[in-house]
């Protein structure tokens, strides 16, 4: 873990561009242009009010790490792709953000080490979602926060049927993404109390964006 700089509009220099949340789900991390770049509403809501030591699962291209507020004292991220690790170093500069050598199945962090974990469009890639959420809960302190923005099973019968139809093939062609998961129920079953959640639609795909805390 290491110090993370405050986010300000001037930090997002023109050559960074809008960035992306994840490579397998290339949503922009920022909107606007040049000196007017600012976090997307989803990225802002994911990080608003965070403080202390935070872990984000997945690197994207690194630009999203510039969107954290100055109340975040330390930031680390779990990423296994060597190319993405180099990209993050270029985007964030020297020494501001460092990786944790681990993934959703095993994080080399002590129990209760973190104040918050941020998951953005990444829980869909967990081979075992229950195991992944148990690991995230383990590294959070009592009362620590899980911030999440994830696509979920559609409430539209036709879309849900399409999700079931592509389920066997989709993970092979989309970075391990499993469509149509009931992620919110899985978060609650893992021992988190969901305190805030909103339904979000992106290109007719259902998402949830919210905050959960570890039960004391």
- Domain 2-214 superfamily per CATH: Vaccinia Virus protein VP39 (3.40.50.150)
Cα gap 56→45, rounded to integer Å: 14
Q: Which candidate, 12, 112, 11, places its Cα nearest to that of 52?
A: 112
Classify 69 in phi/psi space as left (phi over 0), alpha (psi -120 to 50) or beta: beta
Cβ–Cβ < 8 Å for 19, 63: yes
Cα gap 191→214, rounded to integer Å: 6
Cα gap 85→78, rounded to integer Å: 10
Cβ–Cβ < 8 Å for 78, 119: no
Tell me what pLDDT residue 164 has: 64
Tell me what pLDDT residue 215 has: 80
CA dist list (Å): 110 to 3, 6, 106, 137, 142: 19, 26, 11, 11, 13
- Chain segment 88-137, per-residue pLDDT in tens: 877 676 556 888 888 888 999 999 999 999 999 999 989 999 999 999 99
State which residues of the chain have pLDDT below 70: 1-16, 91, 93-96, 154-176, 216
Tell me what pLDDT residue 196 has: 95
Cβ–Cβ < 8 Å for 177, 25: yes
Tell me what pLDDT residue 168 has: 59
Return the domain boundaries, the chain: 2-214
């Amino acid at each position: 873990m290491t110090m993370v700089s405050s986010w300000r509009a001037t930090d997002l220099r023109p050559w960074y561009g809008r960035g992306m949340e994840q490579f397998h789900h290339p949503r922009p991390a920022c909107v606007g242009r040049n000196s007017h770049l600012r976090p997307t509403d989803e990225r802002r809501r994911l990080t608003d009010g965070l403080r202390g030591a935070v872990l984000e699962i997945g690197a994207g291209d690194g630009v999203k790490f510039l969107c954290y507020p100055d109340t975040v004292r330390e930031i680390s991220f779990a990423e296994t792709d060597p190319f993405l690790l180099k990209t993050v170093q270029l985007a964030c500069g020297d020494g501001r953000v460092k990786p944790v050598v681990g993934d959703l199945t095993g994080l080399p962090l002590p129990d209760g080490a973190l104040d918050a974990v941020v998951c953005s469009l990444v829980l869909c890639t967990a081979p075992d979602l229950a195991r992944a959420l148990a690991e995230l809960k383990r590294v959070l302190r009592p009362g620590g926060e899980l911030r999440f923005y994830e696509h979920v099973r559609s409430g539209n019968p036709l879309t849900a049927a399409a999700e079931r139809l592509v389920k066997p093939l989709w993970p092979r062609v989309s970075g391990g993404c499993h469509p149509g998961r009931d992620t919110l129920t899985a978060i609650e079953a893992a021992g988190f109390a969901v305190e805030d959640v909103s339904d979000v639609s992106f290109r007719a795909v259902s998402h949830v964006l919210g905050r959960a805390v570890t039960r004391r």
